[in-house]
Structure 1
């Protein structure tokens, strides 16, 4: 099983080797902005080492496995985990608490001495 928090080259959205698309996929930023940032830093700021770094990353990193994320929501969740794991775990805990509270409310409603509900259930039989 592939690690969902690992950096991968994104060959599906790639223009050349998939490094900028992989960075965009990893961080959740639009690939266009990553490409413009790299081009701007290379040309305007004269950070020529980025070209060497680009090819080293393209050589070392693994391509993203096909079907790594089931849905777009799944991809957004894992991007959030990479950016801030504590916030993501707090969100999951909050959702589970909300589900638990709603289940407890339903259980209370169905097990209470609600005569109107009992009549409705009996009428369905």
Structure 2
């Protein structure tokens, strides 16, 4: 089972970078955050809502496919380097550069948000919503 979050990203377990089953490593890769952050959230979840978190973790362990190893992929030693370079704060990027990247991503999203806002505030949308209520 694989899910799409962004174009080209699939949700998998990542046993290659796992502590237990690779669920946290897979989630971290999917959302583009550090693995330790996801692990910290899971541990916090286990402390405060243990049954729900444990059930979700076990379900993810059983339902998610292992991350496929592609032909021509970098060797294990190089894999860590490739993975680290995708994280701004590990690639030696200054905070100002990281902020610039985020600003560029937000600027790219701005036209889409404007189109959505224009649609939602239009009279056509309000009329369509009233028809749907009938």
Q: TM-score, normalised by structure 2?
A: 0.47
Long gaps (5+) in structure 2: 87-104, 109-134
1:33 maps to which of 37, 57, 64: 37
The aligned length equals: 77
1:53 maps to which of 50, 56, 62: 56
State how far apart, in whole Å, the 1-side matches of 2:50 and 2:58 are: 14
Structure 1 residues 11-20 or 47-56, which shifts more? 47-56
Q: TM-score, normalised by structure 1?
A: 0.50
Could you tell me how far 1:11 is from its partner in structure 2? 0.9
1:18 maps to which of 15, 22, 26: 22
Return the structure number with greater relative CO, CA threshold 8 A, min gap 6: 1
RMSD across aligned C-alpha pairs, in angstroms?
A: 3.2
Could you tell me how far 1:47 is from its partner in structure 2? 4.1
Bigger Cα Rg? 1
Runs of 4+ in 1 over 4 A off after TM superposition: 68-71
